[in-house]
């Protein structure tokens, strides 16, 4: 009986694992199968670098959307990464413990706010601010970058903090014993040592920015043209899917799945880079 139970439980775990893996494989296969035909029909080059997205006229070029994703993500990184790293240094080196116990939960709360709430807040505050004080319609790359910067802060802060905390105490103590000031210690000893973890944090934050849809769909303006300035409205790969998936059929639908494949590849590249960098340590 015991042997049977043993075998049965082993089998059950195996079945569960097999089911999970099949389900996840199903998604991958389905998306690739549905999206690949458009690469054949339109050609990879014309799809990825095509300048015109007009499904009603049979045009499926996603380059403006790639530019949209990259520019919004870059903007978010430029704004969010320095801020995030500074905050993680704050948490590990400068914050008195009372403040620490407030700051850390605050960051976690920031991580939990639904993206639609961020998007809405951006629509009420950031967009009018840009429209009235800076220029353009307000719905723009800049608005998207600001919102995404806030959204990736928790990721960057928390993972960077973990990397810095993981450093052996020796590093800091030895540097201070040698006469370096606090900041010199951080700058020349601790940060370089935690570099791989921090870079991984940044890459994961960027990955989150690339995948965000609902927050940005409200503030980007969703124009299909190639943006010429950060004040122009723009569309990302994700918002493109979000706007059109409800009614896309036939080739149009295939093109959206193909966009999904592009996103897949982008995320895989980012993930591999993060893993590679953390492994090198």
Partner 1 sequence: MRISPRAGERIVKVLIWAAAMLVMAVLVFIVAYILAKGLHVIDWRFLASAPSNMGRSGGISTTIIGTLMVTVTAVVIAAPLGIGTAFYLAEYTRENFVTKIIRFSAESLAGIPSIVYGLFGLIFFVVYLDMRWSVLSGGLTLALMILPTVIRTSEEAIKAVPYIYREVSFSLGATKWQTIIKAVFPSALRGIANGILLSVGRCIAETAAVILTAGSTLRMPTSLFSPTRTMAVHFYILAREGISMENAYGTAALLIILIFLINVVANTLINRFVAKSR
Partner 2 sequence: MRKTSPAISFLTICLVCLVFASSCGRQNADVIVAGSTSVQPYAEILAEEYERLYPGNAVDVQGGGSAAGITAVQSGAADIGMSSRALKDGEKSLWSVEIAKDGLAIVVNPQNPVTDLTLEQIRKIYSAEITDWSEAGGTRAKIHIITREEGSGTRSAFEDLVMAGGRISAGAIVQDSNGTVRQLVSSDKNSIGFISLGLVDGTVKAVSLGGVEASAANIENGAYGLSRPFLFVCLGEPEGRARQFIDFVLSGEGQRVLTHEGLIPRAEGAVK
Residue 139 touches which member of partner 2, partner 1, none, C-beta under 5-8 Å by kind? partner 2
Residue 56 CB, shortest distance to partner 2, in Å, is 5
Q: Are 162 and 127 in contact (CB under 8 A)?
A: no
CB of 60 to partner 1, least distance (A): 16
CA distance 177 to 171: 10
Cα separations (Å) of 232 from 51, 139, 226, 262? 16, 7, 9, 24
Residues 148, 211 contacting (CB under 8 angstroms) = no
Binding mask 136-175 for partner 2 (x = CB under 8 A): -xxx------------------------------------
Closest CB to partner 2 among residues 189, 237: 237
User: Residue ranges of the alpha helices (H) in 166-194?
Assistant: 169-177, 182-185, 191-193
* Helix H or strand E encompassing 54: strand 53-54
Q: Is 177 exposed, middle or buried (0-12, 13-18, 19+ CB in 10 A)?
A: exposed
The encoded tokens of residue 224 equal 């299909």
Q: Answer yes or no whether residue 50 interacts with partner 2 by CB under 8 A.
A: no
Q: How far is the CB of 83 from partner 1 (least distance, A)?
A: 5
Query: To which residue do tokens 């994961």 refer?
Result: 204
Alpha carbon of 42 to those of 37, 56, 226: distances in Å?
A: 9, 15, 20
- Considering only residues 79 through 138, tell me which ones interact with partner 1, judged by CB under 8 A: 82-83, 86-87, 89-91, 93-95, 103, 105-110, 112-118, 120-121, 123
Tell me the C-alpha distance between 234 and 239, whole Å. 10
The label of the residue with tokens 């014309």 reads 46
Contact characters 8-47, partner 2, x per CB under 8 A: -x--x--xx--x----------------------------
229 binds partner 2 (CB under 8 A): no
Binds 279: which of partner 2, partner 1, none (CB < 5-8 Å by kind): none
Q: Which of 35, 197, 233, 260 binds partner 2 (CB under 8 A)?
A: 233
Q: Which does 268 bind (CB under 5 to 8 A by kind): partner 1, partner 2, none?
A: partner 1
The token pair that represents 203 in the structure block:
């890459």
Determine if 160 is a binding residue for partner 1 (CB under 8 A): no
Considering only the stretches 128-136, 192-200, 211-219, 224-232, report the one whose residues sit in contact with partner 1 under the rule CB under 8 A: 211-219
Residue with tokens 């009372």: 98
Write the binding mask 213 to 242 for partner 1: x where contact by CB under 8 A, - elsewhere: xx---x-------------------x--xx
């Amino acid at each position: 009986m015991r042997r049977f139970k043993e075998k049965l439980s082993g089998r059950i775990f195996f079945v569960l694992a097999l089911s999970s893996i099949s389900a996840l494989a199903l998604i991958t296969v389905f998306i690739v199968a549905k999206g690949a035909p458009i690469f054949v029909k339109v050609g990879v080059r014309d799809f990825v670098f095509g300048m015109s997205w007009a499904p009603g006229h049979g045009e499926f070029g996603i380059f403006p959307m790639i530019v949209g994703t990259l520019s919004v993500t870059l903007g978010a990184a430029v704004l969010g990464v320095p801020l995030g790293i500074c905050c993680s240094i704050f948490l590990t080196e400068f914050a008195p413990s009372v403040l620490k116990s407030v700051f850390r939960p605050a960051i976690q709360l920031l991580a939990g706010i639904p993206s639609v709430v961020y998007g809405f807040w951006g629509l009420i505050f950031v967009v009018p601010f840009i429209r009235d004080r800076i220029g353009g319609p307000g719905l723009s790359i800049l608005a998207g970058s600001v919102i995404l910067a806030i959204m990736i802060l928790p990721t960057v802060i928390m993972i960077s903090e973990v990397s810095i905390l993981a450093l052996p105490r020796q590093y800091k103590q030895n540097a201070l014993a040698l006469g370096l000031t606090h900041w010199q210690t951080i700058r020349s000893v601790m940060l370089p040592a935690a570099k791989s973890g921090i870079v991984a944090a940044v890459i994961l934050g960027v990955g989150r920015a690339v995948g965000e849809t609902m927050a940005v769909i409200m503030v980007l303006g969703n124009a299909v043209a190639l943006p010429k300035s950060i004040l122009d409205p723009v569309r990302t790969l994700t918002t493109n899917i979000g706007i059109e998936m409800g009614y896309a059929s036939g080739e149009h639908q295939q093109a959206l799945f193909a966009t999904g494949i592009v996103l897949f590849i982008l995320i895989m590249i980012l993930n591999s880079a993060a893993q590679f960098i953390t492994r090198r340590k």
